[in-house]
Amino acid sequence: MKTKFSGILTLLLALVVQLTFAQQKTITGTVTDDTGLPLPGANVIIKGTSTGTQTDFDGNYTISASATQTLTFSYVGFETKEVRVGAQSTISIQLNPGSALEEVVVTGYSTRNQTVQTSAVVSISASEISQLAPTTSIDNMLQGKAAGVQVTSANGKPGQGAFVRIRGVGSLTAGAASPLYIVDGAPIREQDLSNIPNEDIENISILKDAATTARYGSRGSNGVVVITTKSGNRNRDAVIRFSSRYGVTSRIEPNFTMMNAAQKLQYESELYALGITTASTLPGVTTEPGSPERQFLLDNAVDWQDLILKEGVVQNNSVSISGGGEKMDYYFSLTNDRNTGIIDNIQGFERTGTRLNVNFDAKEWLSLGVNVGYSRSFSDEPRDRNNAQNPFRAMLDYNSYEPEFVLDEDGNIVLDENGDPVYNPTRSGFPVRGALLTEPAEEFENTTLGSLDAVVKFSKNWSYGFNASVNWQAARSESYSQPGGILQDILAPNGPQGNKRDRQVHRVDLTLSNRLNYNLRTEDHNLDILGLYEYNMNEFNITQLRKLGFPSAALTTQVHASGFDTNDQNYTLRNRLTLLSYGLFAEYDFKEKYLVGASVRTDASSNFGADNQYGVFYSGSLGWNIAKEDFFAVDEIDLLKLRVAYGTVGNRNGINRYASQAVNVYNPYPVSDSGDSGNASIPDRVANPIIKWETTTTGNVGLEFNLFNNRLRGVTDYFIRNTDDLLFVIPTADEQGIISQGGVQGLEGNLGEIQNKGLEVAIQGDIFRSPDFTWTLGGNILFLDTEIVELPNGQDVTPNAFNIRYSEGRKINEHFLIRYAGVDPATGRSQFYGADGNIYFANELPEGENRVFQGKSTIADKEGGFFTNFNYKGFGLRADFVFKYGNWINNIVKQQRINEGEFIDDNQAIDAFNYWQNPGDTGVLPSPIYTLDDTAITSQSDRFLERGDYIRMRNVTLSYSFPNELLEKSPINSLRVYLQGQNLLTFTKFWGDPEVGLSSGETIPFADVVAPGEVTLYSYPNTKSVQVGLDVSF
């Protein structure tokens, strides 16, 4: 690649030096609002280019443009204005309040004014981002912000990302339903978004329909999120901005209560009295009420939730310096984020990032730009598994009467031979608080995002752009089981002391793109044509080493260890994926009234069969600005735009990078007593040379309107997305025996068809609008229908999920369970519906399949958010709410906490007391005497399937911006202070926290999840926080 890279450059340079260019000049001015107040951060863009700047805190800007060009001035909540440069060198503009939609939309390959935009795109600006609830990963912030975007936070772990789905679920394969994320031209994985500090983000544009996503061809089928980082302003002294935020974080209080020691002991004895012999060895039975033994337990009782959790600290400090000269601009930042999380004994998450973005006009016809960001993060990785090694399960499993340390008869803590307290293994056998100290798992990530840009202007109409973007991640993860630690005693008390795994991962994603632009501007006609040629290469390397036998817990590098762990723990791996793309995109408008867009893109990807690597994706779109028509003279309507778009987009994710090829792998197999191994050759994958692109066809009709002098602003879209040739592991019969080393059973190929359709509505209104006081209300909602249209041979397919099944004509991700029919009042026994619709006890259910579909999916069919924002003089009060409605969650945590004695060793919620006792009892849990006989059916039933509906106040912020008069005599330009709360209020009927993403990260890891929010287990709980902050600039 290196030679090709330099070849491109040479060619480029040889050509451009001979060319001449239109005369550029510097234009300055001020942008103000209708009351004359400066508008800081307003966008000033040279129309039809991606060149632009922002106004500073006094509303001033400087930009370099030619006389024939047109400047576009825009600001959120104001009408966009355009001014032809002509002979002027000072252009000051007053913007009228108006449309929130009147923005410049960044699509990565180009920018477009919202007025002439023909695609369903939502743009979120830096100023909006700064008002949202701060999170360490920006995908979490998108929830409720854009109609049609469904966000399910994976869990509450600091630095953890979210499951983002744009317009439903466009792929059935794990990891493929996420949108494509592009940062300054480079793709980035969803789980790596936490490496980008929020403060550096200028704009997030969410591309929803084919008119724009088709430009990303093979990768745009699940929507595209384009993230642009900040740049400085020309001819401006440096502005130094400092932000600081500090607060506390804690678990969102659960809406159930666990038993205390006395209650649990009572519960144990009650169950034993019913004949539940599993209680016989428990202290509720072996100690008498009122006895000294019982009193000892009560005296030494522990609140495990208090003990395991802590109140954490969240902290952010950032400094940025931005400005520019006549020929260059710069933005520099340094940020530090810390979130200790809520687990006592470990540190949580910390990230430090720095960025420098510079644009430089090397010649009048040549501009160069470089955006480079580096971040380094540290994260503790507590076990997210479904047993007591996970602190969030342990705190519910451990009984309150089990003390943290082993106690002697007098209640004193027993010490070991080294004088350290001896942890009580508890009934679960695993003291997690000790393990958090002796089994540390940590992850360090170094991420460099670089984007290098050269733009050559050949003429007024023609320009050429070259961009190289690199996303390079070097990550290191270490997990250590210290010698003498908790796991040592369980796994190998007589074996090698301690073991440690070191893993280093390198990911490189390189994009080289060549763009040839043609722009035509006349009085009536605007035409932009973009030719694209792009190469993308993604390489993954991993090195892992695991050794055993460490002399001391203080020694943490492998050089000290005495022996190697198993072969499958020591390896290097490497794989590579390439993509070659050609595109031609055109946009045209006539007097901004009639809008036309079209695109065609051909992508070739290395992971498909040799004859199926190429895919062609196209789109066409039309728009009509009705309010701009002369005949349309309704004063109350300021904007009325109708647009339609249709097109195809592809997907190549979710399959092996070499899925078309049959391969064998080698594993060791012993050939001698001394441990020598031979190379066992193992068929790992069957060839599928016909595997090809998954293709989504999207149709979209949208209406944008601004009414009553732009006081009411709205946009609504209706879409239909059909995805066929779904990439999926096509099930092969078990008798065929094809199972890969990764456990993939079947043949990766193209499976049936799915459909998502829906209606999106976003609306905002200014209830009050005056210079001193504004109150804005707004919200958005998605109404979504999903359907599995076609599967091979009409057969149902079972994905890697909890009782989720795909079936033709059904919703995507429907639960497939036996229906629970309540408690029989006469006997107290659970009842279930058979497939015949009759009611049975578990042991009498009819032969055959009794599980059924009930139209209950993990996917919310209504989702969105709403906000209210007051501003009075410098004071602001803003609240943002998010909601989900219509999704169903199988609440396994509830099952395990009110389980009528199945797991009587483990602590229970106090609701468990409410079991059937006498004939005629209703509204009760089943009698514990049947629990063990019925558990196999209960666990396959919908008894704990609950609606996941909720409304949550994600953010509430009270802020004060000091008036300019007060700051005038100080060196301070602007000063804002605020108090912010996150997740302080939740409305739900769900038992537990309804915001469920990951069930258990080690049961189904983030990247393998196909049905987020399917069940509850014990992943990191969501947190709430209260923070105070300060933004100041000089």
Q: Which of residues 273-292 bind another protein (CB under 8 A)?
A: 277-278, 280-281
Q: Is 562 in the site for another protein (CB under 8 A)?
A: no
Distances in Å between the Cα of 940 and the Cα atoms of 933, 934, 971 are 13, 10, 67
The interface region with another protein, picked from 632-640, 771-779, 792-800, 858-866 by CB under 8 A, is 792-800
Helix residue ranges, H only, 340-423: 391-397
- Considering beta carbons, is residue 370 or 492 the nearer one to another protein? 492
Please state, in angstroms and rounded to a whole number, the distance separating the CA atoms of residues 535 and 513.
6
Strand partners, 718: 701, 759
- Considering beta carbons, is residue 566 or 918 the nearer one to another protein? 566
Q: Is 257 in the site for another protein (CB under 8 A)?
A: no
682: its two tokens: 């193992």
CA atoms within 13 A on the CB side of 942: 24
Q: Is 586 in the site for another protein (CB under 8 A)?
A: no
Q: Is 687 in the site for another protein (CB under 8 A)?
A: yes
- Considering beta carbons, is residue 80 or 424 the nearer one to another protein? 424
In angstroms, give the least distance from the CB of 779 to another protein. 42
- Considering beta carbons, is residue 204 or 1011 the nearer one to another protein? 1011
Nearest in space to 660 (alpha carbons), one of 606, 615, 624, 699: 606
Do the Cβ atoms of 806 and 791 come closer than 8 Å?
yes
Please state, in angstroms and rounded to a whole number, the distance separating the CA atoms of residues 375 and 137.
13
Q: Is 358 in the site for another protein (CB under 8 A)?
A: no
- Considering beta carbons, is residue 978 or 1018 the nearer one to another protein? 1018
Q: Is 689 in the site for another protein (CB under 8 A)?
A: no
- Considering beta carbons, is residue 7 or 289 the nearer one to another protein? 7
Residue with tokens 């003291």: 431
- Contacts to another protein from residues 381-400, by CB under 8 A: 387
In angstroms, give the least distance from the CB of 606 to another protein. 4
The interface region with another protein, picked from 146-154, 298-306, 586-594, 847-855 by CB under 8 A, is 847-855
Binding mask 478-517 for another protein (x = CB under 8 A): -----------xxxxxxxx-----------------x-x-
- Considering beta carbons, is residue 7 or 86 the nearer one to another protein? 7
Which helix (H) or strand (E) segment is 547 a member of? Answer: strand 525-548
Strand 111-113 with 186-188, pairing: unpaired
In angstroms, give the least distance from the CB of 289 to another protein. 20
Q: How many residues bind another protein (CB under 8 A)?
A: 113
The interface region with another protein, picked from 408-416, 472-480, 683-691, 967-975 by CB under 8 A, is 683-691
Q: Is 313 in the site for another protein (CB under 8 A)?
A: no
Nearest in space to 114 (alpha carbons), one of 523, 720, 718, 713: 713
- Considering beta carbons, is residue 808 or 905 the nearer one to another protein? 905
- Considering beta carbons, is residue 33 or 684 the nearer one to another protein? 684
Q: What SS3 state is found at 844?
A: helix
- Contacts to another protein from residues 648-677, by CB under 8 A: 657-658, 661-673, 675, 677
In angstroms, give the least distance from the CB of 274 to another protein. 14
- Considering beta carbons, is residue 419 or 675 the nearer one to another protein? 675
- Contacts to another protein from residues 19-38, by CB under 8 A: 19
In angstroms, give the least distance from the CB of 746 to another protein. 8
Q: What are phi and psi of 305, to 5 degrees?
A: -65, -40
In angstroms, give the least distance from the CB of 535 to another protein. 5
Exposed/middle/buried for residue 974 (C-beta within 10 Å: 0-12, 13-18, 19+): middle
Q: What is the number of H-type helices and E-type strands within the chain?
A: 13, 49
3-state secondary structure 201-249: EEEEEEECCHHHHHHHHHHCCCCEEEEEECCCCCCEEEEEEEEEEEEEE
Q: Is 1007 in the site for another protein (CB under 8 A)?
A: no
Distances in Å between the Cα of 458 and the Cα atoms of 24, 85, 464, 585 are 13, 20, 7, 19
Distances in Å between the Cα of 494 and the Cα atoms of 322, 424, 485, 551, 575 are 61, 20, 13, 15, 39
Q: Which of 347, 745, 868, 961 binds another protein (CB under 8 A)?
A: 745
Q: Is 565 in the site for another protein (CB under 8 A)?
A: yes
Do the Cβ atoms of 313 and 234 come closer than 8 Å?
no
- Contacts to another protein from residues 915-954, by CB under 8 A: 932-933, 935-937, 940
- Considering beta carbons, is residue 275 or 290 the nearer one to another protein? 275
Listed in sequence order, the residues at least 6 apart from 51 whose beta carbon sits closer than 8 Å to its beta carbon are 45, 63, 65, 367, 455
Q: Which of 307, 644, 682, 777 binds another protein (CB under 8 A)?
A: 682
As a whole number of angstroms, the longest Cα–Cα distance in the chain is 99
In angstroms, give the least distance from the CB of 489 to another protein. 6
Q: Is 911 in the site for another protein (CB under 8 A)?
A: no
Strand 93-94 with 24-32, pairing: parallel
In angstroms, give the least distance from the CB of 161 to another protein. 27
